[in-house]
Amino acid sequence: MTLEKFPEDWQSALCVAAHPDDLEYGTGAAVARWTAQGKAVTYLLATRGQAGIDGMDPSEAGRVREQEERDGAAAVGVEVVEFLDLMDGVVEYGLPLRKAIAAEIRRRRPDLVLGLTHADTFPGGFVNQADHRAVGLAVLDACADAGNRWIFTDLIDQGLQPWSGVHYLAQSASRSPTHYVDVTDTFDAGVASLEAHRQYLEALGTEYPPPRELLTMILGSHEDKTLGEYVLILEVFNR
């Protein structure tokens, strides 16, 4: 496998995921690298993770996990975190989701849109969760929707003009990676961003690896150390 270095000739990014904590499993370390360079990065979460803490009422879990996401984002230099407020666990792919993401793309006007793989499985064969698949696929389509004035025309009535400036579209955790980001220098920030999800991680139980160990497995298990001690691997789509 030959990976190319991910370009950094851009200034703004929108990271989109289904749940609080999704972006913290590696992407956060890359975000820390980019915000340190002065790039503007914002987050969009489809849900507040309401179904993620067994034994905690969904409304309370959503409140807890929203704050943990904001804290985790702050650890890597992200100040703007938005939520679509969909229900965790039952996110559906379709026009409403595409429209909501396209609206945020038009609002933020990013050069890069980064999401999580929409594939059925992760590397290693683990099944990808349903919300991840729905949001990941919607992100791919919403980038095109955002640039077409004849799709979701009511967004123009809301002052959201078409945006065709998404130059890079990428997904993490793909089984078909094409590029890498060296996150060696910002690995600790990535760990801190995941550690911010304290109550969620505690609810997963002691069998779940602690954040530093887990991110070492995700970002440090690649064989080619010439790319960096820790790297985030991405699939970049042609546009």
Kindly report, residue by residue over 138-162, the tens digit of the pLDDT.
999 999 999 999 999 999 999 999 9
Q: Give the Cα separation of 191 and 193 in Å (integer).
A: 5
- pTM for the full model? 0.97
Q: Which residues contact 37 (CB under 8 A, 6 or more apart)?
A: 8
Q: Which pair of structure tokens corresponds to residue 19?
A: 């749940």
Residue 229 burial (10 A CB sphere; 0-12, 13-18, 19+) = middle
Closest of 222, 234, 188, 232 to residue 26, by C-alpha: 232
Q: Which pair of structure tokens corresponds to residue 200?
A: 């969620």
Per-residue pLDDT of the chain (239 residues; tens, 9 = 90+): 689 999 999 999 999 999 999 999 999 999 999 999 999 999 999 999 999 999 999 999 999 999 999 999 999 999 999 999 999 999 999 999 999 999 999 999 999 999 999 999 999 899 999 999 999 999 999 999 999 999 999 999 999 999 999 999 999 999 999 999 999 999 999 999 999 999 999 999 887 899 999 999 999 998 899 999 999 999 999 98
Q: Give the Cα separation of 49 and 164 in Å (integer).
A: 31
